[in-house]
A = this chain, B = another copy of it.
């Protein structure tokens, strides 16, 4: 029989990868990240902006926002724009940090800006803390190396 199925859905083993839940978590990060950006930029985050940026219809965005609200990352009211909760802001901050580290690291390898950006969007969700730390460490190494070199 399958390894898990122990309680209900508690205590997921590491073996269960790329599940619905994981994917949903990635979506959550993408959403809060963009919502934070939009609020920082134009003062508010509207569903239509998210839809355009993600290339999906407003229906998909609406349903995802409902879920994020249920999960406590955002708040919104009918026909109103979207706000982040404290948990949402925290998640957005963490996501952004990861994103920036991945982009900077790829750039340091000579990857072009646009490719670094788009690859980072996919990669950032699958980088463990250990690997992220290795990226940071390597960026520092490169900086030292450049410092000595010049």
Contacts and interface: CB of A to CB of B under 8 A. Distances in A.
A42 interface: no
Contact of A23 (B4, B23, B130): B23
B131 A55 contact: no
A10 interface: no
B135 A109 contact: yes
Contacts of A131: 106, 109, 111, 115-116, 119
Interface string A83-125: 0000000000000000000000010011110011011011101
A81 interface: no
Interface string A1-36: 011100000000111111000010011001000000
Contacts of A119: 126-128, 131
